[in-house]
Structure 1
Amino acid sequence: MSKDGETMSLAIASRPLVSLTLPQEGARRFATQLFLALGATLLLAVSAKTKVVLGPVDLSLQTLAVLLIGATFGMRLGVATLLLYLAEGAMGLPVFQGTPEKGLGLAYMMGPTGGFLLGFVAMAAIAGWAADRGLDRNPIKFAGALLVAEVALMALGFAWLAGLIGADKAWMFGVQPFILADLVKVALAACLMPVAWALLRSLGVSRE
């Protein structure tokens, strides 16, 4: 294989999963990205409502959804999707976990879950960054990247919550109860993406 061919193969292999569905043309590409982002914000809203009540911050499937969106969309579209989700919430749409029961809009976002909402953006960015570089083909490497994303989420959530209720309570109610469950979600996401790529290769859809 020529050097140019090797370079092209590496470029294709490092694209996120969503690249297989995006048109090349500017207007059609943007429309497709917008449609995917809006659909993903709906998924985020549904996953946020799937929860177990534990305390100031409840357990939901949203972390898994954020990881998979970042991994599937790549960093740029993944971050844009999470920012769109936050914008929907800031406008008063009941897309967050405790809405509308615990408030709406910016007032809710400034509450106990505010740091975790910011952490979701960081989590999607890290997962997307890893997918952009082809790490989502390898479950071990991808799990390492997703662990970094999980730490970023927890650090931002803890720091925010500690400012509201103190460090001890923030750790007890906002971090500790979620560690095991979130590790399971990290492992699941790290396995699902390589499986998805392998399935696409077997169907002849992937260009790897």
Structure 2
Amino acid sequence: MSFAVTARPLVDLALPQKGAARLGAQLFLVVAGTLLLTLSAKTKVVLGPVDMSLQTLVVLLIAAGFGLRLGVATLLLYLAEGAMGFPVFQGTPEKGLGVVYMLGTTGGYLAGFVVMAAIVGWAADRGLDRNPLKLFGVMLAADAVMLAMGYAWLAVLIGSAKAWEFGVVPFLVPDLIKVALAAALVPAVWSLLPKRG
């Protein structure tokens, strides 16, 4: 089985193919992506002891739509904005700002978002974003890695039992729903586009 780059992510279809115009459009998308991530972080759904956000869904959609390089660049810029003290994360500014906040209880999840974007973006670059079942499998694996990273850091801070109870269990069903939704949306968009050779 070959894993060479044989496809282009969704957003590439709308970008100029060469030169400064392409670079400018990519920069615009990265910045717009960070704004969307901020909005998704601030959109809270209260379910039990933990506030849920739409951020996981948006990370998955950005990664699948932008591909590996642009998706990871978007997440890295988002984390850089947070490190500089901009209130882009779910608990900011109420629970602190900057690097201090990032080293708190959500630090592992934030780092996990970058890895999640890399995994899903890599798959999108190889055309796996056209098939809902394949994309679901990739996204589920990426989400599991992100949760594992969040759990590992949280376990250092509050212990493994509490980290599992408060940092993993409440997210299992909501994340499964978000993964399923993202895995359905992206191939649906592809199916609406004219076929290209």
Question: TM range, normalised to the smaller chain?
Answer: over 0.9
Which protein shows a greater Rg?
1
Identity between Structure 1 and Structure 2 (%): 69
Q: Does the Cα contact within 8 Å between 1:64 and 1:185 map onto a contact in 2? A: yes
> Which one-letter code corresponds to 1:123 in the other structure?
M
Superposition RMSD on alpha carbons, in Å?
1.7
- From 148, 157, 165, the equivalent of 1:172 is 165
Q: Does the Cα contact within 8 Å between 1:12 and 1:207 map onto a contact in 2? A: no
Looking at structure 2, the residues matched to 83 and 58 of structure 1 have their Cα atoms a distance apart, in angstroms, of: 24
Query: Match for residue 59 of structure 2?
Result: 66
Give the TM-score normalised by the residue count of structure 2.
Answer: 0.94
3-state DSSP of counterpart to 1:96: coil
Find out whether 1:76 has 2:73 as its counterpart: no
Looking at structure 2, the residues matched to 108 and 53 of structure 1 have their Cα atoms a distance apart, in angstroms, of: 21
- Give CA-to-partner distance per residue, 1:110-169, whole Å, 9 cap, x none: 100000000000111111111111011100011010011011100100000000000000
Looking at structure 2, the residues matched to 34 and 150 of structure 1 have their Cα atoms a distance apart, in angstroms, of: 26
Unaligned runs of 5+ in 2: none
Which range is displaced more, 22-31 or 130-139?
Answer: 22-31
3-state DSSP of counterpart to 1:207: coil
- Segments of 4+ moved more than 4 angstroms: 53-57
Looking at structure 1, the residues matched to 50 and 159 of structure 2 have their Cα atoms a distance apart, in angstroms, of: 14
Alpha-carbon deviation of 1:57? 5.6
Alpha-carbon deviation of 1:76? 0.6
Query: Match for residue 175 of structure 2?
Result: 182
Give the TM-score normalised by the residue count of structure 1.
Answer: 0.89
How many residues were matched structurally? 194
Looking at structure 2, the residues matched to 161 and 179 of structure 1 have their Cα atoms a distance apart, in angstroms, of: 16
